[in-house]
Amino acid sequence: MKDMPFDVKKRFWKGIFRTVKDKIEFEGIGMHTGEEARVIIHPDESGEIRFLKNGVYIKADVDNVVDVFRGTSLHSEGERIDTVEHLMAVLFAAGINSAVIEFVRGEEFPIFDGSARVMAEAIDNVGIEEFIAEKVEGEGYFLTPLSVEDESKRVKATYVPSPGFEVSFLLDYRGTPIGIQTFKFNLTWQNFKRDIAPARTFGFEKELGFLKKKGLIKGASLDNAILVKEDGIVVKDSLRWENEFVRHKILDFLGDISLAGVKLDGKWLLERSGHKYNVALAKKVKWLAKRCVRRMNFEEIKELLPHRYPFLLVDRVLDFEEGKKIVTLKNVTGNEAFFTGHFPHRAVMPGVLIVEALAQSAGVLVLKSFNLKNITPFFAAIDKVRFKKPVKPGDTLIMEVELLMKKARICKVKGTAYVNAEVVTEGEFTFSLLADEFKKLQVCN
C-alpha cells in the first residue's frame, strides 16, 4: 500500500471512510491470558471500528475502556476484550476507520512477537479501499490545546494544534538499563511501518512476581517481550533500535488515542505517559470533538452581536444547534485590557467577564436561531453561578450554552465554561430581548 499522509478533512469531514479489501485472520496467544485466540478483521461500511464477541458489538470507543492496567481493554453488554492497543495503532496509522473485528476464540488479541509488525504487513497484503458514508465526524482539528497531568509522577500528555501529526515522547526509566529515551515521530503509513510497528513490548524482571499474582503475563516469554533486569537487557536476537522502548510507547499511544474516534492535525507531547494518561487525553479529545462540528467565524459573530473591542468576548462558534445549544470559544491572551487593572500581580480573568462571555454566547444562539433583527439581549437574572477554577492568560475558554426556555420576550439558558475540558464556571441566566431604538419587538415564534 502506498504511503498515505493524513488528510483529515478529506477522510472525516466529507465522509470518506477506509476499510480492508478482504478479511484478515490472526491466530496466537494473549500476553496476559496465555490463551489461544482467533480473530478475523472483516471489511465493513458502517463507518466505525467495532469488535464482535459472542454476538455483542463493542465499539472501539474511549467510553468503552474498562481497564488500562498493562494494556487497554474494552467492555460492552457483559463482553470484554483485552490488549487492543497494538491493533488499534495499526488501523489508526493506516487510516482505517471502518471494520468489524470478530473474536472467534479467546478474549485477548494475540501478542505475536510483542510488536505490531505482523498486523501492518497483513494490511499491506490485502490492501485498503475507500467508500462514501453519510456519517460526518468533524473537521479534524481543534483550536485549543488539551492536556493531562500528574505532577506526583511527573507525567504530562499534551495536544497542541499544529499542521501535520507529530508525536514526541520522553521515556524516563532512569536507574535502569533503559535510562532516558526520546523519539519524535511524524505519522504516515510508511513511517509507522518502518519506525514504530516493529517496536516490541517490554517488562521488568522485578515486577514479574507482582504481575503473576494479579493473574497477568501468562503468555509472556522472550518470544514476545523484552526483559529488563537490574544489570542488563535480555532480548531474543537483539534490540531493533537502541531506543526501541520509547518507540513502543508511541505504538501504545497511537492505539489509545485512536479510541477518541477522530484524527487530529497537531503535536502530541508526551512525558512519561502510559495507558492511563493516554486514555484520559483521548477522553478530552472526544469531549471537544463533539463540540466542534459547525463553525461561525469572528466576522459572522459581529453581525449578530452589538459588542465590540474590548468587550466582545466570543471569538468563534464551534458548534450550533438551532434553538437548542451553542458551543463557542474565547482565546484568553495576556493582552486583554482587563488584565492591566484586575489583579495585575496575579493575572486572573474576572469571573463577571466569564459570565458575560457565556451571556454573549447565549445571545448568538437566540439571535441566530430565531432570526431576530434589531434586538439586544439584556440580563434579567443570574442564578446558581459557581466559579470552580481561575482562568489565566493563555487559556482557551470553551463555552457551552443550552436554551432552557423561551417566551415572547424572555429566554433562559444554562451556561458552562471549560478550560482543558474541565469546568471553570457554570450557571443559569435569564435575559430580556429588547428592541433597539424603540423599534417594534420581534417575538420568538
Distance CA 110, CA 296 (A): 46
Distance CA 265, CA 183 (A): 19
Distance CA 68, CA 155 (A): 16
H/E run at residue 431:
strand 422-435
Q: Which of 42, 248, 342, 345 is catalytic?
A: 342
Closest CA to 154 of 324, 277, 336, 5: 277
- 237 forms beta bridges with none
Contact yes or no for 29/43 (Cβ under 8 A): no
Whose cell is 434579567? That residue is: 380
- SS3 label, residue 356: helix
Residue 275 annotated among the catalytic residues of the structure: yes
H/E run at residue 425:
strand 422-435
- 129 forms beta bridges with 19
Q: Which of 42, 275, 307, 345 is catalytic?
A: 275
Distance CA 26, CA 32 (A): 17
Distance CA 357, CA 383 (A): 16
Contact yes or no for 247/86 (Cβ under 8 A): no
Distance CA 135, CA 17 (A): 9
Contacts of 363 (CB under 8 A, 6+ apart): 304, 305, 377, 431
Q: How is residue 70 written as a grid cell?
A: 498493562
DSSP class per residue in 179-211: EEEEEEEE--HHHHHHHTTTPPPEEEGGGHHHH
Contact yes or no for 44/19 (Cβ under 8 A): yes
> What angle separates helix 244-257 from helix 85-94, to the nearest 10 degrees?
80
- 217 forms beta bridges with none
Q: How is residue 166 written as a grid cell?
A: 507529530
Cα torsion for 42, 47, 50, 55, to the nearest 10°? -80
> What angle separates helix 275-289 from helix 244-257, to the nearest 10 degrees?
40
Residues with a catalytic annotation lie at 275, 342
